[in-house]
Amino acid sequence: MTIHPKLNDCDYRPDFLIENQFGESFYLEAVISTGISSKEAAQKANLNEFNDNINKLNTDNYFLKVNMKNLPSKPIPTKKIRVFLENELNNLDPNVSLQNLNPVLTS
């Protein structure tokens, strides 16, 4: 087996060249079958990138959980959202925020 063999007549390199002991050979192309469309894969990649960036928020007192109703069809402007959230959360007093939650927690 040869990985990415060079072809004589073009620049394309197939994934594998398979050869047996009798000199018979064939080229093999490998693909990943995920069961989802390329559109859905792109949407999931956009969501994963968004979540990864939100997880990098520089806030010591707060954690965020984001729920989306639909998968995003375009990349989300995460940097602007992150800067906004960091500014807003870092301007909050966590003690006041906790007091505001107490009625929810005790009912």
Report pLDDT digits (tens) over 20-39: 999 999 999 998 888 888 88
Average pLDDT over residues 50-72: 83
pTM of the model: 0.53
pLDDT number for residue 102: 55
C-beta of residue 28 within 8 angstroms of C-beta of residue 18: yes
* Parallel/antiparallel/unpaired status of strands 2-3 and 16-19: antiparallel
What residues contact 10, with CB distance under 8 A and at least 6 apart? none
- Residues 67/95, Cβ–Cβ less than 8 Å: no
- How high is the pLDDT of residue 93? 83
Backbone angles phi, psi at 11, to 5 degrees: -85, -15
How many Å apart are CA 73 and CA 70, to the nearest integer? Answer: 9
Higher pLDDT, 103 or 59: 59
Q: What is the pLDDT of residue 101?
A: 60
